[in-house]
Amino acid sequence: MSNNSTNKWAKSVIKQNEIDCYLTKGKKDFINEEIISDKLLLNNNPGKQQIRDILQKSLAIERLDPSETAALLHVNDPELLDEMYKTALAVKQKVYDNRIVFFAPLYCSNLCVNNCAYCGFRKDNTEEKRKILNTAEIKKEAESVIDEGHKRMIVVYGEHPASSIDYMIDSIETIYSVNRHGNSGIRRININAAPMSVADLRRLKNVGIGTYQVFQETYHHDTYKRMHPSGPKSNYQWRLYALHRAMNAGIDDLAIGALFGLYDWRFEVMGLLYHAIELEHQFGIGPHTISFPRLMPASGSDISKNSKYLVNDADFKKIVTVLRLAIPYTGLIITAREQADLKRDIIRVGCTQTDASTKIGVGGYSETMTKQNENKQQFMLGDTRTLDELIKELVQMDMISSFCTAGYRCGRTGDKIMGLLKNCVEGKFCKLNAVLTFKEYLEDYASEETKLTGEKLIAKEMSQIEEMPFYQEHNLIDKFNQYYKRISNGERDLYM
C-alpha cells in the first residue's frame, strides 16, 4: 500500500458523530481535570479512622467514590498501608477467591500509523523491523501458545490498514480454528486494538471475542496531546469513548487501562475511577478488568527511559492496592512487563489475571528469539518465566491457576457477571471451574514437580468445596465431582 493511501485510510478512521453523541452540551468529556485536582488536594492528609472506614466500605464490596479514593492515594503511614494491602487481598478473596487466571498475548503486527512517543511500534521509529503475520504464521503462533497449556489469548494489533477489521476477523477465526491433539485449543480470544467505529465493533462481537481492551494511556488531556502527535490516536475523545461505542455495538465485556509513567500516577488512578463510574452510569456495567502497565524501555523512545513520571515499585504497589479497594468487582491484570519478585508481591494485593511464557515479538512464539527479532518487540519484558514455572510458584503461594473461560461461554458477562461479582457469587463458580481447568493443565502440560504439588492443592480445594454451604445449597457438588472424574479420565472442556 502506498504512503498516500495509508494516510488516506488513517484520516478516515475517526467518525466525529460517534464522539459527539457522548459529549455534554459544551462538547466536554467526563474527565474534568479541575475536579480531579480538587479531590486530590482536599484529601491529601486523611485521618486514620477515615481510612479505616473506607476500608470497611471496600470490604462490603462497594465501589468507592472519588474523594475516598483520593484519600487512599495519600496514605503514607506504614501501619495503615499494611492494613490497606491486607484488606485489598481480603476483598479479592471475597470476590474472586484465591485464583489467578492465565492468558497469553499474541502480537499479530507491528505496523502502525500512529506516533505514540513511548512505543517501539510508532510509525517514525526506524529501528523497528516491521512484520505482519500471515494466516500460516498465526496458526503456528497459536499452536505454540496452546502447546504451553494456554486457553485464553489476548491478540494485539498496531493500527494500520494492513491490520484493519478484515485482518482482525480473519486472524481471530484462524486462532479459534486451531485444535491440537483433537481436544485442545484457544477457548477465548480477547482483543487489544485501536478504537473503532460501532460498525467494525459489531463485526468483532460477531466473530466471538471475549473482552475488548483499550487503554487510555493518560487521562490528562495536555499530556495525551504531547504523547500522541499524529495519527488517529492523537484524538483523545475518539479513544475515551471507544468502550462506549463497544457497548453500543453489543460488546459488554470491556477492559480499561492507563500507561503509568506518562503523567502523575495519582491523577491516572482517578482517571481510571472516573472511567469506571462513567461506564456504570451510562450502561450499568463497569469495566471487567483494569490494566496498569508501567512504562518500559522501548526501542527508539527517549520518553520510555527518562520520563519524570516513571513510577517506583512502592508507588506501583499502592496503585494496584487502591484500584483493588476502589473498584472491588473488577479484575486486575499484572503483566510480564514486571520483574518476577515484584509480580509476586503485587499479586498478593489483589490481582486476578496474569500472562506467562510471554513473547511480545511479532512471530515470537514460533521463532527463537535472536538479537535481530528483539527489534520486532514493543518493549523489554521483566518476567520471561514459563507458564509451568509461574504455576509452580503460585501453588507455593496457595493460589490456584485457572484457565476458565466458562463465564463468557455461559453468558455470564456484562451486567450478569457484574451482579454476580458484586454479590460474591461468580467467585464461587470460578472456584469450581478453576479446579476443573487446573486439573486439565496438570494432566496435559505440567512438569512432574508442578503436577505433584498441584494435585495437593487441588485436594485441599476439593475438601473446602465439600464443606462450603453455598455448593450444598445449590446442589453443585455432585455435578462438580462427576466432571472432575470425567476430566481425570481424559474428557476435556467441562465447566459449571
DSSP string, 406-466: HHHHTT--HHHHHHHHHTT-HHHHHHHHHHHHHHHHHHHT--HHHHHHHHHHHHHHHHHHH
Which of the choices ligand SAM, ligand SF4, none does residue 58 contact, using the CB cut-off of 5 to 8 A by kind? none
Which of the choices ligand SAM, ligand SF4, none does residue 215 contact, using the CB cut-off of 5 to 8 A by kind? ligand SAM
Q: With contacts defined by CB under 6 A, name the span among 15-23, 110-118, 413-421, 480-488 that binds ligand SF4.
A: 110-118
Q: With contacts defined by CB under 6 A, name the span among 6-14, 119-127, 250-258, 287-295 that binds ligand SF4.
A: 119-127
Indicate which single residue of 87, 114, 213, 218 sits in contact with ligand SF4 (rule: CB under 6 A).
Answer: 114
Window 127 to 166, contacts with ligand SAM (CB under 6 A) = 156, 158-159
Tell me the closest approach of the beta carbon of residue 251 to ligand SAM, in angstroms: 15
**Nearest CA-CA partner of 81 in 317, 347, 294, 311:** 317
Cα-based torsion angle of the residue sequence 153, 480, 410, 240 in order, rounded to the nearest 10 degrees: -50
**Which amino acid does the sequence have at 321?**
T
Per CB under 6 A, does 260 bind ligand SAM? no
Q: How many angstroms separate the CA atoms of 280 and 283, rounded? A: 6
Beta bridge partners of 331: 289
Alpha carbon distances (Å) from 182 to 51, 124, 141, 490? 54, 44, 18, 12
Site size for ligand SF4 (CB under 6 A): 10
Tell me the closest approach of the beta carbon of residue 86 to ligand SF4, in angstroms: 36
**Nearest CA-CA partner of 253 in 334, 324, 152, 162:** 152
Tell me the closest approach of the beta carbon of residue 239 to ligand SAM, in angstroms: 8
Which of the choices ligand SAM, ligand SF4, none does residue 304 contact, using the CB cut-off of 5 to 8 A by kind? ligand SAM
Cβ pair 238, 20 in contact under 8 A? no
Per CB under 6 A, does 123 bind ligand SAM? no
Per CB under 6 A, does 242 bind ligand SAM? no
**Nearest CA-CA partner of 163 in 230, 115, 111, 117:** 111
Tell me the closest approach of the beta carbon of residue 476 to ligand SAM, in angstroms: 38
Tell me the closest approach of the beta carbon of residue 228 to ligand SAM, in angstroms: 9
Per CB under 6 A, does 252 bind ligand SF4? no
Q: How many angstroms separate the CA atoms of 131 and 124, rounded? A: 15
Q: How many angstroms separate the CA atoms of 315 and 311, rounded? A: 6
Tell me the closest approach of the beta carbon of residue 39 to ligand SAM, in angstroms: 25
What residues have CB less than 8 Å from 404, skipping those under 6 apart? Answer: 101, 430, 433, 434, 436, 437, 495
Tell me the closest approach of the beta carbon of residue 228 to ligand SF4, in angstroms: 7
Per CB under 6 A, does 119 bind ligand SAM? yes
DSSP SS3 for 97: coil
Write each residue from 22 to 41 as x if it is in contact with ligand SAM (CB under 6 A), else as -, in one continuous string.
--------------------
Q: What are the cell numbers at 129?
A: 523491523
DSSP string, 282-299: HHS---SEEE-PBP---T
User: Of the two residues 293 and 328, which places its CB atom closer to ligand SAM in the complex?
Assistant: 293
Per CB under 6 A, does 333 bind ligand SF4? no
Q: How many angstroms separate the CA atoms of 224 and 222, rounded? A: 5
Q: What are the cell numbers at 387?
A: 507458564
Q: What are the cell numbers at 72?
A: 487512599
Tell me the closest approach of the beta carbon of residue 214 to ligand SAM, in angstroms: 6
Tell me the closest approach of the beta carbon of residue 352 to ligand SF4, in angstroms: 24
Which of the choices ligand SF4, ligand SAM, none does residue 192 contact, using the CB cut-off of 5 to 8 A by kind? ligand SAM
Indicate which single residue of 58, 174, 299, 304 sits in contact with ligand SAM (rule: CB under 6 A).
Answer: 304
Per CB under 6 A, does 239 bind ligand SF4? no
Window 121 to 180, contacts with ligand SF4 (CB under 6 A) = 121-122, 158-159
Indicate which single residue of 119, 320, 395, 418 sits in contact with ligand SF4 (rule: CB under 6 A).
Answer: 119
Which of the choices ligand SAM, ligand SF4, none does residue 122 contact, using the CB cut-off of 5 to 8 A by kind? ligand SF4
CA dihedral over 263, 269, 275, 277, signed as positive or negative: negative
Per CB under 6 A, does 214 bind ligand SAM? yes
Q: How many angstroms separate the CA atoms of 292 and 268, rounded? A: 10
DSSP SS3 for 38: helix
Tell me the closest approach of the beta carbon of residue 156 to ligand SF4, in angstroms: 8
Site size for ligand SAM (CB under 6 A): 21
Q: Other C-beta atoms within 10 Å of 121: how many?
A: 29
Indicate which single residue of 259, 400, 420, 446 sits in contact with ligand SAM (rule: CB under 6 A).
Answer: 259
Tell me the closest approach of the beta carbon of residue 216 to ligand SAM, in angstroms: 9
Q: How many angstroms separate the CA atoms of 74 and 66, rounded? A: 13
Cβ pair 175, 142 in contact under 8 A? yes
**Which amino acid does the sequence have at 362?**
V
Footprint of ligand SF4 (CB under 6 A): 112, 114, 116, 119, 121-122, 158-159, 194, 233
Footprint of ligand SAM (CB under 6 A): 118-119, 121, 156, 158-159, 192-194, 214-215, 217, 259, 293, 295-296, 298, 304, 337, 378-379
